[in-house]
């Protein structure tokens, strides 16, 4: 059974940093795309960024480009979301997701989802 478990959320001040983790288990993810999405209260879930497990190619939403990165640890089957220069508008529940190697920024491309972790940025 595939499991994605996020951790690392919390409360941070504007301009601060947080690092989220997504530990993947249950299968080999070498042919997968791992993505991060977020959902703020009253808003739709939106794409944040993704990494192709094979090759490490990454891409990001314009709203986080230059501030967020997605490192990975192949040995631990874990991807991270490194968030710097956080803003109040980054406040949301952040979700890790896994999709095929062809997955893009659409929610429909992702089969497996984590339970989410809350990130709150105070002004």
CB 48 within 8 A of CB 34: no
Alpha-carbon dihedral 84, 111, 58, 43, rounded to 10 degrees: -40
**Residue of higher predicted confidence among 7 and 31:** 7
Identify the CA nearest to 87 among candidates 32, 23, 18.
Answer: 18
d(CA 72, CA 36): 13
Instruction: Assess whether pLDDT exceeds 80 at residue 28.
Output: no
- DSSP 8-state code for residue 105: S
Mean of per-residue pLDDT scores for the chain: 94
The mean per-residue pLDDT over the stretch 60-71 comes to 97
Q: Which of 94, 120, 116, 102 is nearest to 32 (CA)?
A: 102
Mean pLDDT to the nearest integer, 50-78: 92
Please state, in angstroms and rounded to a whole number, the distance separating the CA atoms of residues 22 and 13. Answer: 23
């Amino acid at each position: 059974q595939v499991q994605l478990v996020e951790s690392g959320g919390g409360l941070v001040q504007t301009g601060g940093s947080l690092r989220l983790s997504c530990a993947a288990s249950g299968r080999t993810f070498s042919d997968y795309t791992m993505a991060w999405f977020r959902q703020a209260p009253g808003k739709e879930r939106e794409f944040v960024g993704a990494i192709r497990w094979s090759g490490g190619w990454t891409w990001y939403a314009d709203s986080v480009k230059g501030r967020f990165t997605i490192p990975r640890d192949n040995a631990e089957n874990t991807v991270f979301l490194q968030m710097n220069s956080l803003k109040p508008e980054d406040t949301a529940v952040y979700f890790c997701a896994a999709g095929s190697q062809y997955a893009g920024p659409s929610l429909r491309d992702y089969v497996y989802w984590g339970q989410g972790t809350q990130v709150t940025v105070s002004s």
